[in-house]
């Protein structure tokens, strides 16, 4: 098997990784919609999805089936080619960008072939991400234009103008991080954030030296929320003004693809924020003998979550829930036990912290959506051009000054 793997690394190593990551990503996308509906519902004192499966856990599945069986209408006078191309472009670009994200420090070894955790490790990973982001405008613009309908056209124009404007601030805001790390390689950017101030405060870029990137982070996250067309910057789909914006005329699975593209971009941006400003897969606790117990945090977290789910599940209101929830709890507990085994414990550290940080960012995304009202269009443009862009340039100047002054 090892010889076969050495001859065909593409077939044995890369392809399975792509398939597994795609499967995980699409499942995560589906459950991100469930997560968002639940969190927003609880912010607004509602229950959210509750009927389909225990706690509405089967709702994404039901939605997916519903999208598949809806009639797929093409509006009269639509530009057929562009109308079909737009959702494919949006979705494929959004999913491609996950390929350069590193999920952990150590490479895997599959059948004797070393390979990075994540699909690939590029020297220009960050630039590739920005290249993909900059292409993302076409999905929106083409969808709006090709529908041959006035609301989509206005929505498409709005959001492409918005995406072009905020892309500048987005790119400029990470220049500080690039200057400090001295590389475009995402793995190396994470590695440059190792170490601790005074032995216990992590040297993540957010509070790194020589210049803490706090301003850079806030600029990045604001611009990123706008770039992904999410609330409070979701003017592209302002229901009260534009029906649903650029995808008004889309139905069935083509609509679902725009939906999935939006959530995939959310995940990518959260990964990027984690990598650039929050130390990626690095643990927030020092790796000294005093904190040796911190390696059991993943195991403990999964174990406790599993036990809690079992305790809650046996008292659930429906019989189905009383079966499914304890089984899920047992599975989580089993994972917790697995993560405590000596063979696995080192490997899970990186991905655990990484995914935890990404999860926190996704929660903040939903939290912001549930809390802030939508901007007015002129406010949005003024905010982007007159506040975010000058501040991000200021951040670049200050950071480069700090680097030049601290270097001997």
Partner 1 sequence: MMTPQIAVFLVLAAVTVAGAVSLILQRHPIHSALSLIVVMVALAGLYLLQGAEFVAAVQIIVYAGAIMVLFVFVIMLLNAGEEERTNVSRLARYVGVPLGIVFLVEVAYWIGRATAHLGSAPPEMVSTRDLSSLLFREYVFPFELTSFLILIALLGALVLARREDSD
Q: Which is nearer to partner 1, 160 or 392 (CB)?
A: 160
Q: Which is nearer to partner 1, 246 or 277 (CB)?
A: 246
Across the chain, how many H-helices and E-strands are there? 18, 4
Q: How far is the CB of 232 from partner 1 (least distance, A)?
A: 24
Q: How far is the CB of 46 from partner 1 (least distance, A)?
A: 39
Q: Which two tokens stand for residue 393?
A: 């340039």
Can you give the binding site for partner 1, defined by CB under 8 A?
79, 81-82, 85, 122-124, 127-128, 130-131, 133-135, 137-138, 141-142, 144-146, 153, 156-157, 160-161, 164, 167, 182, 184
Q: Which is nearer to partner 1, 160 or 222 (CB)?
A: 160
Query: What phi and psi, each to the nearest 5 degrees, are found at residue 184?
Result: -100, -5
**Directed axis angle between helix 297-313 and helix 319-339, to 10°?**
170
Q: Evaluate whether 158 touches 236 at the Cβ level (below 8 Å).
A: yes
Q: How far is the CB of 336 from partner 1 (least distance, A)?
A: 41
Provide the H-helix boundaries in 174-251: 175-181, 186-191, 214-227, 239-242
Q: Which is nearer to partner 1, 140 or 190 (CB)?
A: 140
Q: How far is the CB of 100 from partner 1 (least distance, A)?
A: 11
- How far is residue 168's CA from residue 183's CA, in Å, rounded to a whole number? 20
Q: Which residues does 313 contact at the CB level (< 8 Å), separation at least 6?
A: 54, 321, 322, 324, 325, 326, 328, 329
Q: Which residues does 118 contact at the CB level (< 8 Å), separation at least 6?
A: 21, 99, 100, 101, 102, 103, 104
Q: How far is the CB of 371 from partner 1 (least distance, A)?
A: 31
146 CA to centre of own chain: 28
Q: Which is nearer to partner 1, 82 or 307 (CB)?
A: 82
Q: Which is nearer to partner 1, 134 or 191 (CB)?
A: 134
Q: How far is the CB of 129 from partner 1 (least distance, A)?
A: 10
């Amino acid at each position: 098997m090892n010889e076969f793997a050495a001859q065909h690394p593409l077939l044995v190593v890369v392809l399975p990784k792509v398939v597994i990551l795609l499967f995980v990503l699409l499942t995560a996308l589906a459950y991100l919609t469930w997560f968002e509906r639940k969190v927003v519902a609880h912010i607004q004192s509602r229950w959210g999805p509750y009927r389909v499966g225990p706690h509405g856990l089967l709702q994404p599945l039901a939605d997916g089936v519903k999208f598949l069986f809806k009639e797929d209408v093409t509006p009269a006078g639509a530009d057929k080619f562009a109308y079909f191309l737009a959702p494919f472009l949006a979705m494929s670009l959004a999913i491609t960008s996950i390929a350069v994200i590193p999920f952990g420090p150590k490479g895997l070894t599959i059948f004797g072939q070393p390979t990075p955790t994540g699909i690939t490790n590029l020297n220009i990973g960050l630039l590739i991400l920005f290249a993909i982001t900059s292409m993302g405008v076409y999905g929106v613009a083409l969808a709006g234009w090709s529908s041959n309908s006035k609301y989509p056209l206005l929505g498409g124009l709005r959001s492409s103008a918005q995406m072009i404007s905020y892309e500048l601030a987005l790119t400029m805001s990470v220049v500080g991080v690039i200057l400090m790390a001295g590389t475009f390689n995402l793995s190396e950017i994470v590695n440059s954030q190792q170490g601790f101030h005074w032995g216990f405060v992590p040297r993540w870029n957010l509070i790194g030296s020589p210049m803490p990137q706090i301003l850079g982070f806030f600029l990045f996250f604001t611009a990123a929320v706008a770039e992904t067309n999410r609330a409070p910057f979701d003017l592209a789909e302002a229901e009260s003004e534009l029906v649903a914006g650029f995808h008004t005329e889309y139905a069935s699975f083509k609509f679902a693809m725009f939906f999935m593209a939006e959530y995939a971009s959310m995940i990518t941006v959260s990964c990027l924020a984690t990598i650039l400003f929050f130390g990626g897969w690095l643990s927030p606790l020092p790796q000294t003998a005093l904190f040796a117990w911190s390696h059991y945090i993943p195991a403990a977290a999964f174990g406790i979550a599993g036990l809690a789910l079992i305790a809650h599940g046996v008292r659930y209101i429906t019989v189905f829930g009383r079966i499914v929830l304890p089984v899920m709890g047992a599975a989580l507990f089993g994972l917790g036990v697995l993560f405590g085994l000596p063979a696995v414990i080192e490997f899970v550290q990186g991905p655990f912290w990484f995914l935890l940080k990404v999860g926190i960012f996704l929660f903040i995304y939903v939290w912001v959506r549930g809390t802030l009202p939508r901007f007015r269009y002129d406010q949005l443009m003024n905010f982007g051009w007159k506040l975010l862009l000058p501040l991000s340039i200021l951040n670049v100047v200050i950071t480069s000054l700090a680097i030049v002054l601290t270097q001997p």
